[in-house]
Structure 1
Amino acid sequence: MLFYFRNLAWGAVVPLVGKLKKFYEFSLKLEGSLHGLLKALTSAHCSPTQHLEQEQALARQFAEILHFTLRFDELKMTNPAIQNDFSYYRRTLNRMRINNVAAEEENEVNNELANRMSLFYANATPMLKTLSDATTKFVSDNTDLPIENTTDCLCTMASVCKVMLETPEYRSRFANEDTVSFCLRVMVGVIILYDYVHPAGAFVKSSKIDMKGCIKVLKDQPQSSVEGLLNALRYTTKHLNDETTSKQIKNMLQAN
């Protein structure tokens, strides 16, 4: 009977691990795509605003990546079964290997790949970490490009999203709440990337991002719809707890 239930559990978890593998592989593709988009949106031939106006399709793709990233990580944080299932898969696979039991599934996710996937999913926000690391690497790899080109691009996108969300004239044009969620996620996403690549971060007084305004926009939404985004600012940013961050901003981001 125990053998039967083990087979049943194994049969249920293998397809789920296959999905986790696809998302992990997708994260690797995102890194390359992000580098290409940033290169196009931060070149020196025009200002960030002009870039976003002239390359709207690329800006939209960048926004879509940020939206997907924040949405994926929100779902991941509320589904602890993801890591539990993957841990069970790895334990079972190791036990089968020790007992010399052949497992076709190992060809799909071998031990080396499983180790990399385990490190990826161990992060509370794995996709966001991928984008943060990729943006930081883009800046470090392109030393001929002033860092302001990247931070100003991110700052401009955050400002555009904030204005669209807080201005009734723009807000009234939104077809549905999905558009609101899209803008909120993009705004939070570019803030986090800015905080990682700017030497002083997004929360200092000299920051070009209106953090108080952005947090207010988030706080003005139904709490249930933005709690994950507020948590992303609280727990996945780099400089929030620095001494240079004002107490007002820290108080605004305190959990209720």
Structure 2
Amino acid sequence: MPRFSIIVPSHGVAGRLSQALDSVLGQSFGDFELIPVCDGPDCAAADVAGEHAERDSRVTPVHSPPSAGLAGARNAGMRAATGAYLLFLDGDDTLVPGALAALDARLADTGGVDVLYFEHERVPWWEGETTNPAAPLLARTPDGAFAPDRAPHLTGVHLPAWSAVHRRTFLTERRLDFPGGHFTDVGFGARVAARAERVAVLREVVVRHRVRRQGNRLNLPGEHHADLLDQAELALTHAVERGLPPERRG
């Protein structure tokens, strides 16, 4: 069993997929499988993933139709994964050098946590400043492993799926996957935080996340805003069903 399964959805980012995959394959820590998720065998991203698979047996592409969306792609990657911990990486993002070694060391120190949250950089595609929005949240957490009740501000709503590694058996045993629709990270992150028993943080940048020029989807008009309400309702309903106190409901 590999230590990590890195799941990389690739829809719409074939031109940058090589950078994402190379950032994983170039890591000093090598005990992982890399799972690019492509729209189908004939798409441009599949060609990129196939070329990497020919060069490195740790690359095992899978397919998910575009109609399944980001949630479907991530879920397809989860079904194919065999690693102890899952790491989700967008197809136009990259891991910083030494990221997997740092994650492995922190997991060893904290002893089998369900979720390990980490810092990330938001890097504009064009002009703008690089930011680290997770750092203030993680700075307010205990050292070592801790129960989520000790850091109620870590609801999962404010932390995307690619800002944590998740123990695979924790997700599968509790049937935690990505809900369909836009803003799937909200529903997933909240449900994960509600079900986790032991979590920890790594106060180091692991992922560089590219921010598109048009900015956050929240700032764009459209019917997708209804999906955000649906995801928020899903998160709140799950929190209430689990009997979580109000401060942990997002």
TMscore range, shorter length: under 0.3
Whichever structure has more helix as a proportion of its residues is 1
Whichever structure has more strand as a proportion of its residues is 2
**TM-score (norm. length: structure 2):** 0.26
| Greater gyration radius | 1
